[in-house]
Structures are given as structure tokens and as C-alpha cells.
Amino acid sequence: MKIAIFGDSFAHTEPCNEDRAWYHILKNKGYDITNLGRAGSSLWYSYNEYIKHYKSYDKCIFLITNWGRFHLPQLHMPFWPGIQQIEGALMDPNLPNEDRKVLASVYNWCIFSRNDEQEIQYHELMLADILQKNNNTLLIPCFNHDMSRIPQKYSMMDIHQIDIDYYKLDWQDKNKVCHRKPLRAGGRELRACHMNDENNIIFANKIIEYINNNTFSLNIQDYTCSVKDVNYYFELDDS
């Protein structure tokens, strides 16, 4: 059985921790896996990959990212999760001039011209088309705003949040504004697919259940806190 995976960083992680990712666990168990996901990618990118390839696979696992992402293949870094990342890049004095021109245009379009309701409707129409095309595709929401279409009570972000809460990485200032402990300069999140090692194993077993029996549930009570130190997963700024 040939299985394809589509989606964002919940579907595809960095090479440094790929051996701990749920899809790598499936490969190690002998499943024929092709991963067409890309970290930071937009729904349109995943949808386009899906349209091109889904007929070549017996089952597809599609992790649904949020709307408002950008695919800019002309840039050195083609995937942009949102306007905040573009705004941050424009503040970098070392940003190549050609990249700066493109990102400044995208930023101005977002601020002055983008119709958010229209973008959300495009997002919903792509999901509806996927559901219509193939009964052998499992759609898994990564963010809560896609819950209305998908019969799951929780999203992948809920699994991600288990570690954030356990390690107390979020805090509120005196004005009750939420902040997150920053990574150090050049630091990385070292979790595979934004999940601890134990939860990657649990999620892999959930996908195996779907592959073998066509049943899948995303229940936060099935997942766990990690037994490892926070520095195993997050390169934090301790200054």
C-alpha cells in the first residue's frame, strides 16, 4: 500500500530531528511513505501537490494548515507562515534586495488590499474539493479554525500545546498579554513536527490504525507530557 503525506510542519520536520518524526516511525515499521509536506507551506501549496499526486497513492494523510500563508517560489525561502514572519524579515538588514522587494510588495498587499473573508473562503473551497475528490484521504486539522469542517474535537495545535503548558513557556505580563519564552539567537525548536517524542509515537500509531482499519480519532487525552528536560526540545534564551 502506497501512502502520501501532505501538509505543513506538522507533516514535515527539520532534518535534524526527522528520525523522531511520526512519519519516519511509519517508514521504520515498513510502510511505503512518500512525504510531500513542507514546513511553513500554505494550504494552496499542499492542495496543488495533492491534485497532482493523489491518484498515485492508495491512501493520503492531509494535515490542514491555517489560511494566510504564502508560497513565494522566487525567493531563497519559499514558504512564509504569515505576515508576522514577513514583517520580521523586512527588519533584517542582511535580507537580499530582490527578496526585500517581493516581501515588501506582499506585506503592502496584506495591509492595504487583502480581503480576509475571501481568503478564508478560498481555504474552505480547497478543503471541500479534496473531500469530494477522494474517499481515501484523511484530513487532520492543525489549527482550531478548521474544526467546523473536520469531525475532530481537537487539532494538532492542542497536542503541540501540551509541551508549552508542561514546560511553562507561556506567561502573562501585568496587562494580561500573553508572551512566550524566546529561543536564543540562532536557537531552534527541536521537537519533531511540534510534538514530543512520546506523542510522535502515539500519533504514528493513530495513523497506522487509520491505514489498517479506516478509523481515526484525535483525542487530547490520548497524548502525554514528555519525561525529557525542556532543553532537549527548545534552545531557549536563558539570559
The string of pLDDT tens digits covering residues 20-42 is 999 999 999 999 999 999 999 99
| pLDDT, average across residues 127-149 | 86
pLDDT at 42: 95
pLDDT tens digit string along 163-203? 999 999 987 777 777 778 888 777 888 999 999 999 999 99
pLDDT in tens, 54-77: 999 999 999 999 999 999 999 989
- Note the pLDDT of residue 148: 62
Its pTM stands at 0.93
Instruction: Give the C-alpha separation, 126 to 45, whole Å.
Output: 11
Distance between alpha carbon 226 and the CA centroid of its chain, in Å? 20
Q: Is 30 left (phi over 0), alpha (psi -120 to 50) or beta?
A: left
Tell me the one-letter amino acid at 13: T
Contact assessment for residue 64 and residue 7, using Cβ atoms and an 8 Å cutoff: yes
Comparing CA positions, the residue from 132, 137, 127 lying closest to residue 59 is 137
What 8-state DSSP symbol labels residue 138? E
Q: How confident is the model at residue 229 (pLDDT cuts 50, 70, 90)?
A: very high
- pLDDT mean across residues, the chain: 92
pLDDT confidence band for 149 (50 / 70 / 90) = low
| pLDDT(147) > 70 | no
Helices (H), 54-115: 83-90, 97-112
Q: Are 82 and 68 in contact (CB under 8 A)?
A: yes
The CA radius of gyration of the chain, in Å to the nearest whole number, is 19
